[in-house]
Amino acid sequence: MKKVYFLLPILAMLLLLNQSCRKDDSLGVEVVPPRDRGEEALAAQAEIEEYLSTHFYNYEEFENPPADFDYRIQFDTIAGDNASKTPLIDQVSSKIAKDRAELGVVTYKLYYLNVRQGGGDLLKFPDIATMSYEGRLLNNEIFDSSVIPVRFDLTGVINGLQDGMKGFRGASSFTENGDGTISFEDYGIGAVFVPSGLGYFVNPPNGSSIPLYAQMIFTFQLYQVEVGDQDNDGVISLLEDLNNNQIEEDDDTDENFIPNFVDGDDDGDGRPTRDETELNEHVINIGDPDPEYGVDEVEMYRVTDEEEGTITIHTIFLFDSNNDGIPDYLDEEN
């Protein structure tokens, strides 16, 4: 299988970015500074909008699927026999996404195509997605793909893919076919049009064919969703986003440069978060009212078992022993 380029950790990219900005006196070579991120955001948007206005996707196949249809998005130019096709620009949605390097300063209009939402679990920004995908440049050159479903931690992929995919859902159900393959029903299908600032900007992966400042398109089939708890401290990463900005990297209670979602001792008091909290679960029947929670008990996520007719509610006790409103695991003094 091909190397998965877009898994390059963000942290490594930021380090590279710092290096590329630095003048290397020893060699007497002045490294070209990267372009202004805000200006590049506008240039990227114009380039993507041009693509969306001049291309269409195989929407007719999705409307009337041929017998052997693979439910994968294909793009083509609006020209010749295809001159009357509906352009993507009339079918995409958009959302505002935040630049991570200049958070609060630079934003993007992030375009995505929702071909099918999916009928299963909701994918949130710090979750784990099992998906097949294709990554391509605007010239339609595919630089990476997998037909086989692969698990991706959304906190480890490029930000544009993370921001674009959240909100889609996994499959409503799956069937094991007996020959080792699995068929998924009503899974999410979409595409994200990623501006370079939410992609690789000046740091495309070594050895890849991705140029500097390249806009990218990812098409995906989202099969399964797992709730992310990257540091395995029991507190799901969604709850570790303390400032609720849907960005996991900028919450760091003890300011040790390790964000809470990957810090097993969030307040840095020497006691692991696991020892300052307690996991719990409630099993109820579908249709039953929610259970009463204890003091300091917080719901994290639910798992529905249609066959058993039950819902398991996973909760956590975020104890606050000195009653100062700050739970112990975030309270250095407790």
Contact residues: Ca ion, CB under 5 A: 229, 231, 233, 235, 241, 243, 245, 247, 250-252, 254, 256, 258, 263, 265, 267, 269, 271
By beta-carbon proximity to Ca ion, the closer residue of 61 and 252 is 252
The CB-of-137 to Ca ion minimum distance in angstroms stands at 31
The CB-of-197 to Ca ion minimum distance in angstroms stands at 19
* Torsion over CA: 221, 226, 231, 235 (sign): positive
The CB-of-315 to Ca ion minimum distance in angstroms stands at 15
By beta-carbon proximity to Ca ion, the closer residue of 121 and 233 is 233
Whole-angstrom Cα distance, residue 141 to residue 273?
46
Whole-angstrom Cα distance, residue 91 to residue 255?
43
Q: Are the C-beta atoms of residues 195 and 48 closer than 8 Å to each other?
A: yes
The CB-of-4 to Ca ion minimum distance in angstroms stands at 24
By beta-carbon proximity to Ca ion, the closer residue of 47 and 269 is 269
* E strand spans, the chain: 55-57, 75-77, 93-98, 107-116, 128-137, 142-153, 173-176, 182-185, 188-194, 216-226, 278-285, 297-305, 310-317
* Nearest residue relative to Ca ion (C-beta): 263
Residue 207 token pair: 């050895």
Beta bridge partners of 301: 314
The CB-of-264 to Ca ion minimum distance in angstroms stands at 8
Whole-angstrom Cα distance, residue 125 to residue 241?
10
By beta-carbon proximity to Ca ion, the closer residue of 134 and 251 is 251
By beta-carbon proximity to Ca ion, the closer residue of 70 and 275 is 275
By beta-carbon proximity to Ca ion, the closer residue of 48 and 318 is 318
The CB-of-240 to Ca ion minimum distance in angstroms stands at 5
Count of beta carbons in the 10 Å neighbourhood of residue 295: 7
Count of beta carbons in the 10 Å neighbourhood of residue 287: 7
Question: Biggest alpha carbon distance in the chain?
Answer: 72
DSSP classification of residue 41: H
The CB-of-125 to Ca ion minimum distance in angstroms stands at 9
By beta-carbon proximity to Ca ion, the closer residue of 186 and 250 is 250
